[in-house]
Amino acid sequence: MEKPESQIRQVELEDVIFENPFTNELRGDELLTNTRRQVHNAYYSRVFPTPTAAPKTLAVSEEVRLLLGITSDVADSTEFAEIFSGNAVTTDMDPHAMCYGGHQFGNWAGQLGDGRAINLGQVTGIDCNSYMLQLKGAGPTPYSRSGDGRAVLRSSIREYLCSEAMHHLGVPTTRALSLCSTGDNVVRDMFYDGNLAEEIGAVVCRVADSFIRFGNFEIFSAREDIDGLRTLLDFTIKHHFCEIDDNSPQKYVDFFKEVVSSTALLMAHWQRVGFVHGVMNTDNMSIHGLTIDYGPYGWIDDFDPDWTPNTTDRHQRRYRFRNQPAVGHWNLAQLANAIYPVVGNVEPLQEALDEYEEIFARSWSDMVAAKLGLVEHSSDPSQRVITDLFSILETGEIDMTIFFRSLSSITVGPNTNIDEITALLKSAYYEPESKPQVHWESLRSWIKHYCDVLRNQGVADEQRREQMNQVNPKYVLRNYLAQLAIDSAEQGDLSMLYDLEKMLKNPYDDQPEFDKWFVKRPDWAKDRAGCSMLSCSS
């Protein structure tokens, strides 16, 4: 592989060995020049990161560092900062950007690919699993189109924090090893309104089983390269779905079944914690059922099922909160269409796809029941509790996180005080004074019915409270909190970044030192840039 004119440095990273099955076993781009272009007959293009001016490590996830067997001394070293900012590589890396396509906002977009991400290679963790390490923001690739391949500090902080926050919430996700600044400024038009501004450049090192997406298969199918499609499927099953031991076309159906199941479970988890991805294009869907590509995401503050954090989607609202499960199903249908030429039979793929709704419904019902402390969710009284609650949430402008967390603290006894519980839950409302009397009557009626159901199931308050607090987080990465950390970091103060990272490691625990952040979104953040909706600008 040709090195860039700037001759990127090669350094050693003690005790960290990179392996490269993706580039060793699959066909690469014959052209080695880093120029924007359509790449055909290749799964990836080899490309070096672009060296940076003054790399500096800002944060390292201790859990991921330990998972990958990286010592604290190595993480503190100059070599670490250089490698994970894109300023250097090791001799056993094979840096590359993947070729893939995708449906964006429901329309086929053709070739997309890793436009700002460069895969370094795989590392074996202390759990004996292999993890791909990828730099986001490390410079242009052949897939960058009109972009510069860089990332800014604000989006990098959001990705670093949210990757680890989601993991600790129990939501399947890519992880983040490190956050580095580059010493370079990056020009961005944050609102796509012609106002260009220089921002601080940064790089996140992302970690996952792989970064293979639905779009990796779609591009080969769209180009009618069936042999290439089959080869990619075989590679994926061999390395990432090795429990599938079948040499017939049925193995491709079994692979699809696994992706259907993990995607349905992921959608249920997103709904459980109130997370909205914002850009559920097929190129942002992981075959491992992981949350991937943290762009304009957000948590619903006032419970609005039609809210999307993505300014690009403000009119269509395709990726709004309530629509995420349906979009997951639609995206899986595109994956089924993509691999059909290798399977050669529609029926088994359709049967596998039809299982999605049942898996999601079962997972979601189990999670909602757990959030409410219900022993079961199939009886008529329990079903009524669930149905009536979401009607109340939708009409009440209620903070979802605070409401469910507060609900766990109620006492259910022979003399339940409905007024006290109503007052407790009222604290989760954004504008309680604007609600009509009929709303409060509905809430009081729901509380009474809910308490009756809890009382009949016979679970002690303390036991129920403990169980509910294991699925209802107290702390989530609200957009305004991330923005405050960004504001401070851009001024050189990383203290809030570190505080949020610490808080989000234990989102279900009471942490008195962080109770100041167990509050509703402040009024000043409702419409402020970065605190409500966000653009895809990175």
Same domain, 83 and 122: yes
Residues 6+ apart with CB under 8 A from 420: none
Give the whole-angstrom CA distance, residue 242 versus residue 210.
14
Q: Are 200 and 52 in contact (CB under 8 A)?
A: no
The tally of domains found in the chain comes to 3
Closest CA to 330 of 214, 413, 429: 214
Neighbouring C-beta atoms of residue 314, cutoff 10 Å: 10
Same domain, 384 and 299: no
Same domain, 352 and 387: no
Handedness of CA 107, 110, 116, 121 (dihedral sign): positive
Same domain, 296 and 356: yes
The answer to whether position 144 is within a domain reads yes
Q: Where among 443, 458, 473 does a domain terminate? A: 458
Please name the residue ranges forming H helices in 427-532: 437-457, 461-468, 479-490, 495-504
Given the residues 283, 302, 313, 399, the one annotated as active site = 283
The answer to whether position 171 is within a domain reads yes
Same domain, 190 and 256: no
Q: Where among 178, 195, 214 does a domain terminate? A: 214
Same domain, 381 and 410: yes
Strands (E), 264-323: 275-276, 298-299
For helices 250-273 and 346-372, give the axis angle rounded to 10 degrees: 30
User: Which range of residues forms the domain containing residue 416?
Assistant: 374-458
Handedness of CA 287, 292, 295, 298 (dihedral sign): positive
Strands (E), 246-402: 275-276, 298-299
Residues 6+ apart with CB under 8 A from 107: none
Q: Tell me if residue 283 is catalytic.
A: yes
| pLDDT values of the chain reduced to their tens digit, one per residue, 538 residues | 555 545 688 888 888 999 999 999 999 999 999 999 999 999 999 999 999 999 999 999 999 999 999 999 999 999 999 999 999 999 999 999 999 999 999 999 999 999 999 999 999 999 999 999 999 999 999 999 988 999 999 999 999 999 999 999 999 999 999 999 999 999 987 766 677 889 999 999 999 999 999 999 999 999 999 999 999 999 999 999 999 988 888 999 999 999 999 999 999 999 999 999 999 999 999 999 999 999 999 999 999 999 999 999 999 999 999 999 999 999 999 999 999 999 999 999 999 999 999 999 999 999 999 999 999 999 999 999 999 999 999 999 999 999 999 999 999 988 889 999 999 999 999 999 999 999 999 999 999 999 999 999 999 999 999 999 999 999 999 999 999 999 999 999 999 999 999 999 999 999 999 999 999 999 999 888 888 778 775 5
Same domain, 176 and 242: no
3-state secondary structure of 152: strand
Strand partners, 117: 136
Same domain, 287 and 386: no
The answer to whether position 496 is within a domain reads no
- The secondary structure of 10-23 as a DSSP string is E---TT---B-HHH
Same domain, 184 and 82: yes
3-state secondary structure of 510: coil
Give the whole-angstrom CA distance, residue 189 versus residue 311.
13
Q: Where among 458, 491, 511 does a domain terminate? A: 458
The answer to whether position 154 is within a domain reads yes
- The secondary structure of 374-419 as a DSSP string is -S-S-SHHHHHHHHHHHHHHHHHTBBHHHHHHHHTT---STT--HH
Q: Are 220 and 229 in contact (CB under 8 A)?
A: yes
Q: At 133, which amino acid appears?
A: L
Backbone angles phi, psi at 108, to 5 degrees: -65, 125
Same domain, 64 and 171: yes
Same domain, 366 and 382: no
The answer to whether position 521 is within a domain reads no
The answer to whether position 492 is within a domain reads no
Same domain, 36 and 143: yes
Give the whole-angstrom CA distance, residue 325 versus residue 337.
19
The answer to whether position 511 is within a domain reads no
- Residue 14 has what pLDDT? 84
Where do we find the tokens 């990127």? 8
How many residues in total does the chain contain? 538
- Residue 196 has what pLDDT? 86
Give the whole-angstrom CA distance, residue 364 versus residue 420.
30
Where do we find the tokens 């954004």? 430
- Residue 2 has what pLDDT? 53
The answer to whether position 513 is within a domain reads no
